[in-house]
Amino acid sequence: MKSGGTKLRRNLVIADPSDKSVKLTIWGEDCKNPRFEKAGVFAIKNARVREWKEQKSLGLTYKTVI
């Protein structure tokens, strides 16, 4: 963070039955959401897709709906 503080970050792996997976990074208060505590089924809409070293990952934005 620019102010020198810290912010909670949590990395989750989302997979489907074909064994395809993508990493989802959540930040701040979203990390405390109990829906992320155990495996389950959920949909993500309007996440940000990023690619680094040919690996895609997802990030939440203010428009993301879970």
Domain ranges of the chain: 9-59
Express as a percent the part of the chain with pLDDT over 70: 94
Question: Quick one: average pLDDT of 33-48?
Answer: 81
pTM: 0.66
Q: Identify whether the C-beta of residue 28 lies closer than 8 Å to the C-beta of residue 8.
A: yes
Mean pLDDT, residues 27-49: 81
User: Is the pLDDT reported for residue 14 higher than 80?
Assistant: yes
Measure the CA–CA gap between 19 and 21, rounded to whole angstroms. 6
Paired residues of 31 in beta bridges = none
Tokens for 61, please give them. Answer: 């934005």
Mean pLDDT over residues 16-25, rounded? 87
Residue 1 has pLDDT above 60, yes or no: no
What confidence tens digit (pLDDT) does each residue in 51-61 have? 999 888 888 88
